[in-house]
Structure 1
Amino acid sequence: MPKHLTENICEEAAFERVYNKYSEDVHNFLYYKYGSKYNPRDKVQEAFIKLWDNCKQVTFTKAKSYLFTVANNMMLNEIKHEKVVLKHQKTKPKHYTNETPEFVLEQEEYLEKYNKVLSSLKEEQRVAFLLSKVEGKKHSEIAELLGVTQKTVEYRIYTAFTILKNELEGFKIK
């Protein structure tokens, strides 16, 4: 078997021979198949970079096949990416909701009432309630933060919840 068939293309001279022999062929193949839109020269350069990165695994006899396959796959990936971009550009964001104006108004009024009742709570009740329900802290964590017992925190949250429930129609918390 001749030496050049299994020759390592990691050597500069061998790689240069592969480049000189196949670069124009790969470019022409890409250009004729896909046109100039996807920059066939760039894909050829990228294919040779990949060949250089993987030179230990690719023999001289497999170099041509490797280059054509890699370059073709790069073009196909570019086309696929362009299709995704075009599809994304076609989808228009929704500038509407299924909520009626009455619902939106009721929601705003309810939020206003909620904030008013919340501000009328005693500070220790409001703080304990918000730490528990808004920030999701456990009763033991709140007790440690406020420097009180866990039972005190539970009582403050319970009384705040009771006031909110009495003042606001349909008030529920999970």
Structure 2
Amino acid sequence: MLPELNEHICEEAVFESIYKKYSQDLHNYLYYKYGDKFSPNDKVQDAFIKLWNNCKDVTFSKAKSFLFTVANNLMLNEIKHHKVVLKYQNENQRDFTNETPEFVLEKKQFLQRYQEVLGKMSEEQRVAFLLNKVEGKKHSEIADMLGITQKTVEYRIYSAFSILKKELVGFKIK
């Protein structure tokens, strides 16, 4: 049974017949026109969602043109968004820094020395220190994780600080 040409498509059976009739054609149209890069399957689904949301305003005779127009516009919007993203990526690539070459070298050397000093620490000191300062864990959380007392954790972190201060000139951490 074909619905009347002016009948609204809010009935489930009518909408389902439209979906079965046009979904594959709509997908093929988007795929052939724009390729697979911008996910034509998603645009088909989005177009049918918009059709369902506007089912009271769209008649059966206008459903096909509505679907194809909406899907095409969704694809064009996706392409425009992709172009904006690419343009932004190209514009914001900086080839310069405000850091002097001496500062960059000092920073690299300091980081290398820091890694060496961390490597010389005992595993217990290093783990407690990194969990606290890098991961931001509290002393009580570290104690629970490692199965030790909070005082032991505090001692390990304090001893790690002492080693870092002794081995690294100008070492300061909050």
Fold-level similarity (TM above 0.5): yes
Give 1:41-120 correspondences, 5 Å limit: 50=48, 54=52, 57=55, 62-90=59-87, 91-92=89-90, 94=93, 96-98=95-97, 99-120=99-120
Aligned residues: CA RMSD:
4.2
Matched residue SS, 2:59: helix
Deviation at 1:169, TM superposition (A): 3.2
CA deviations over 1:11-33 (Å, ceiling 9, x no partner)? 6xx97xx99xxx9xxxxxxxxxx
The code of the aligned residue for 1:172 comes to K
How far, CA to CA, are the matches of 2:81 and 2:117 in structure 1? 50
Matched residue SS, 1:77: helix
Runs of 5+ consecutive residues of structure 2 not aligned to the other structure? 26-31
Matched residue SS, 2:171: coil
Deviation at 1:107, TM superposition (A): 1.2
The code of the aligned residue for 1:82 comes to I
The code of the aligned residue for 2:61 comes to K
Aligned to 1:129: 129
For normalisation by structure 1, the TM-score amounts to 0.58
The code of the aligned residue for 1:128 comes to A
The code of the aligned residue for 2:114 comes to Y
Q: Assess if the C-alpha contact under 8 Å between 1:143 and 1:153 holds in 2.
A: yes
For normalisation by structure 2, the TM-score amounts to 0.58
Fraction of identical pairs, as percent: 43
How far, CA to CA, are the matches of 2:156 and 2:137 in structure 1? 14
Q: Summarize the Cα distance change of 1:37–1:156 in structure 2 as closer, same or farther, 3 Å threshold.
A: closer
Runs of 5+ consecutive residues of structure 1 not aligned to the other structure? 24-35
Matched residue SS, 2:135: coil
Q: Summarize the Cα distance change of 1:38–1:113 in structure 2 as closer, same or farther, 3 Å threshold.
A: closer
Deviation at 1:109, TM superposition (A): 0.4
How far, CA to CA, are the matches of 1:88 and 1:104 in structure 2? 30
Q: Assess if the C-alpha contact under 8 Å between 2:8 and 2:59 holds in 1.
A: no
Structure exhibiting the larger radius of gyration computed from Cα positions: 1
How far, CA to CA, are the matches of 1:7 and 1:65 in structure 2? 10
